[in-house]
Amino acid sequence: MGLFSRRPSSSSSQDVMRLDIFMDYQPQSEKGTASVQWIPLASDDMRLRPILIELLYARILSIHAETRSQLFWTIDELSKQNVRDEGITGFDFKEWKLSLGLGIPPQTIWPWDIIDNPSQLINPKVYRATLKALRPHVWDIHLEMAWGLERILTPASLLIAMHSYSKSTDQESRYELAMFLWQINEFYKSPEQIKPFKEATALRTAMDSIRAGGLRCPRMHGLIFLFRGRQAMPLSNELYTLHRYYIWANRMRTLFDTALSKFVREEGQIDEDAKMTKFLAGDPGLFMSYWYSSLYVVVEGYRKLDVHDKVIDSLISSPNTELLRRYRNGAFHFQRRYYSDRLEGFISEQSSASWVRDLNREFGRFFLQRIAAANA
């Protein structure tokens, strides 16, 4: 299960999930209070929620010309920041005021107060977004919008939904949402090129790009600034293949981080043999071992392709690389001892935990750099 299995099993067209956004806005005080409700129809799969948010974003871009440019670049900046830091930033938006003219004070598109219970709102206006499954891997959206205050509520509804989802989910899910939003913007290229009712095509193209590892190029004002001043080489087919191995390794890392956090919450620190045995036999040990082992495959491919990056070259010159290779062998070749030397060698090395995270992060930076350069 993953990014591309967020769909019902049936291939028939159906309403799958609905998002209700309740908004009570007071123009006199220029303040709004909102609430969000997710309503399962054919499915209550939480992984469908970001799909609906992505489609809502694309739909509002296409129908609301007045705020299109600022919304596009706001999401562009935040999605790329979340890709860079793997979902740490989240979707906290800057203040946004809309000038209405005619002597009317500028009105607030963001921020809003978001509450849990919509029944606490007095006569709110409601936007209803329904996720529709047309056929496998093809999604669309039906959007019902209340009359009145559309110039404010239309863009605000998207920000409310996105911010609320970001606060309620984990870092990995924010990262995945950011990847899709980034690729939807790459599909459109610029606010001026957006055409109506291309949401389904934009989302499907984003899915295909991420699944294939062929991410579309960030523009010069976006991620490319990370690599300014560094030599960039085109990305070969072999490097695209290596990038896929990195995607697998990085996914194991995110699963490990989630499992580790849960383990520490439930068991406390790993300070005794019994806890270590439970750690290694459970999800944390499983995902850690698959992460370490698959990351060594990336190192192996990097060396075989004879590519070079100063930071990565420095990291893999460490003795930890040999310990990581031995750990991979210990994980994927039967060892008679439960705590084998191959596994313990890497784990017991004091610098290994920070080193392996540095290496993982630098490979991510390396591939983003090469992808950007290849598509520039």
Residue 330 vs residue 236, higher pLDDT: 330
Name the residue with tokens 């109506």: 196
Reported as a single tens digit per residue, the pLDDT across 32-68 is 999 999 999 999 888 899 999 999 999 999 999 999 9
Report the alpha-carbon distance of residue 217 to residue 224 in Å, rounded.
9
Question: What is the β-pairing status of strands 31-40 and 113-115?
Answer: parallel
Alpha-carbon distances of 73 from 56, 86, 184, 358, rounded to whole Å = 16, 19, 12, 30
For residue 158, pLDDT beyond 50: yes
State the pLDDT confidence band at 129, using cuts at 50, 70 and 90: very high
Question: What residue segments make up the domains of the chain, in order of their start?
Answer: 3-216, 226-375
Among 122-126, 132-136, 144-148, 309-313, name the one with the lowest average pLDDT. 132-136
Tokens of 171: 């870092």
Work out the number of other CB atoms within 10 angstroms of the CB of residue 4. Answer: 12
Report the alpha-carbon distance of residue 293 to residue 299 in Å, rounded.
10
Report the alpha-carbon distance of residue 369 to residue 375 in Å, rounded.
10
Q: At what angle do helices 171-188 and 65-84 cross, to 10 degrees?
A: 130
Q: Which residue from 92, 101, 105, 126 is spatially nearest to 31, judged by alpha carbons?
A: 105
Report the alpha-carbon distance of residue 86 to residue 184 in Å, rounded.
18
Report the alpha-carbon distance of residue 244 to residue 369 in Å, rounded.
15
